[in-house]
Structure 1
Amino acid sequence: MTSSTTIGSNGTTVSPLMNDTMSNNSSTNSTNSATGSTSSSSSSSASNTTGAGLQSTFLQLLVTQLQNQDPTNPMDSSQMTSQLAEINTVTGISQLNTSLSSLSTQLNAGQTSQAALLIGQKVLAPGNSLSITSGTETSFGVQLGAAASDMQVNVVNSAGQIVNTIDLGAQPAGVVPVSWEPVDSSGNPLPTGTYTITATGTVNGVAGTGTTLTTATVESVVQGTNGAPSLALSTGSTVPLTSVAAVL
């Protein structure tokens, strides 16, 4: 047996069955709402860790602000719009950095393949230690950043004495290869050994120096600190691929 409940003074009645149904629906909706909020919150926190997630959240905040503002006294949304533009800029820069990093990796891989072709080849690379075999012609080079009106190369022995000065005369900017029969200033053959060379002269009207280049054989290719390939030379030194001045 059921009884009715009277609502208001006009005699409207509601049955207990309807009351129970409304209560159950209200309880169910509250539970679903809470569950949905928890799920939405978890999903939102996961997606907000990326630039795209921040942008989406910012748009939601902007739309919510516009929907809930007082039509007679609207809020200034220019600052939010400006911040949204900044987020777009940061996201774009991040994507550009990723693309450039990928491109750099590909370029380094291509350079490594090209450098491998130099294994066993003789090259001119920065250095000042010159190995001389008595009676055998040797080669080296000088690299100039600007044209020189006069350039000389001093050859120094292990005792620190200048045993010869090679006059190269006027030379243009760039790499100047030199083939030289190892003799002293009197024309006598120099003994076999290791010598040091320095390049001095006149550049743009003032005293200047040049970068000395020595001959070495490429033994292997190694990866440099920045990922670019470097060459391990027979002289025991390792130089970046970009520093090789000439292939002999």
Structure 2
Amino acid sequence: MNVNNRTTGQQLTPYAAEAVPQSNSVAGKENMFMRLMLEQMTHQDPSNPTDSNQMANQFAQMAQTESLTTVAKLMNANNTLMDNLQTLSTANLVGKQVMVQSDSVDLKNQPIEARITLKNPASVVTLHLKDKQGTDHTISLGKLPVGQNGFSLDPQKNGLPAGEYTLSIVTDTGEKSPTIELAGTVNTVRISPADGQILLDINGLGDVPYNQITQFGPAHSKPAHSF
């Protein structure tokens, strides 16, 4: 008796070929896997049956893939939820004062609130403001201790015309790029159509990404130096 008339290389029956789902979903792929495996078992060579360990491994791989897909979907859902919550929370910032780490400012006629952070105490601290024409205006901030130092700057008092300026701090200790923070009121909150980033339009600072905000609320908890 010929027992080799059914081999593993035999084509699928018309029923199996039609039954294979075309969906790319996890459920569709799982259904396809089960039907193909049943066809393989049906047409296997009785003298050389499919290894049960191989079948078990295939089951395990399928289950692992489905589990990872489910985890990925849950993570995406959580990320979407967090983004929505962040957007709702930033909408409440309109009209509120915040502080932003920045090295540029658009000066008007009113004073601005600022803060610099020093890693070392300095006897001579100078604020440099360079305008669009390249003119460097300097203001002496005097002697400042280590840590956060808040100050108020009046453009009119210092003869600074309205316009955009680039800011930098120079100390007698040679400290490189001390952090500069500027205070401003949030005018509007919008979502960038290009990348979905949350942008805050802050008075005197323009559009600022949400992640550049360093403080919510008033600039100084104690009286600041005025210049």
Q: What TM-score range do you get, normalising by the shorter chain?
A: 0.5 to 0.7
Q: 2:161 aligned with 1:190, yes or no?
A: no
Q: What's the counterpart of residue 156 of structure 1?
A: 129
Distance 1:157 1:236, change over 3 A: closer
1:219 and 2:187 equivalent? yes
Deviations for 1:78-124, whole angstroms, at most 9, x for unmatched residues?
44543443333333333322222222222222212211111112221
TM-superposition CA deviations, 1:63-82 (whole Å, max 9, x none): 44345545553333544543
Q: Which has the higher helix share?
A: 1
Measured at CA, do residues 58 and 118 of structure 1 come closer, stay the same or move farther in structure 2, by a change above 3 Å? same
Q: How does 1:1-248 map to 2 (within 5 A)?
A: 41-46=17-22, 48-70=23-45, 72-127=47-102, 128-129=104-105, 131=107, 133=109, 137-142=111-116, 148-150=119-121, 152-158=125-131, 159-167=134-142, 169-172=144-147, 176=148, 178-182=150-154, 189-193=157-161, 194=163, 195-200=165-170, 207-224=175-192, 225-235=194-204, 237-246=206-215, 247-248=217-218
Please tell me the residue identity of whatever aligns with 1:180: S
Report the Cα distance in structure 2 between the residues aligned to 1:117 and 1:62, rounded to whole angstroms.
Answer: 57
* Distance in 1 separating the partners of 2:107 and 2:64: 57
**What whole-Å deviation, never above 9, does each CA across 1:181-228 have from its counterpart, x for those lacking one?**
549xxxx941142444213559xx984223322222211111135434
Q: Judging changes above 3 Å, is the alpha-carbon distance between structure 1 residues 227 and 95 closer, same or farther for their aligned structure 2 residues?
A: farther
Residues 108 and 228 of structure 1 are in contact (CA less than 8 Å); yes or no, is this contact kept in structure 2? no
1:67 & 1:206 partners in 2: Cα distance?
Answer: 81
Q: How far is the alpha carbon of 1:140 from its aligned partner?
A: 0.9
Indicate the residue corresponding to 1:34 in structure 2.
none
User: What is the distance in 1 between the residues matched to 2:81 and 2:33?
Assistant: 36
Partners of 2:48 and 2:170 in 1: CA distance: 79
User: 2:128·2:169 contact (CA, 8 Å) conserved in 1?
Assistant: no
Q: % of aligned pairs identical? A: 17
Alignment deviations for residues 6-58 of structure 1 (CA, whole Å, 9 cap, x no partner): xxxxxxxxxxxxxxxxxxxxxxxxxxxxxxx56x7555334x43222222222
Change (3 A) 1:226 1:103: farther
- What do you get for the CA RMSD once the two structures are aligned? 3.6
Aligned partner of residue 208 in structure 1, secondary structure: coil
TM-score, reference length from structure 1:
0.62
Alignment deviations for residues 135-185 of structure 1 (CA, whole Å, 9 cap, x no partner): x6531123x5xx71136452325353342232563434xxx35123549xx
**Cα distance in structure 2, aligned partners of 1:76 and 1:215:** 71
How far apart in 1 are the matches of 2:91 and 2:167?
29
Long gaps (5+) in structure 1: 1-36
> If the length of structure 2 is used for normalisation, what is the TM-score?
0.67
Which one-letter code corresponds to 1:156 in the other structure? Answer: L
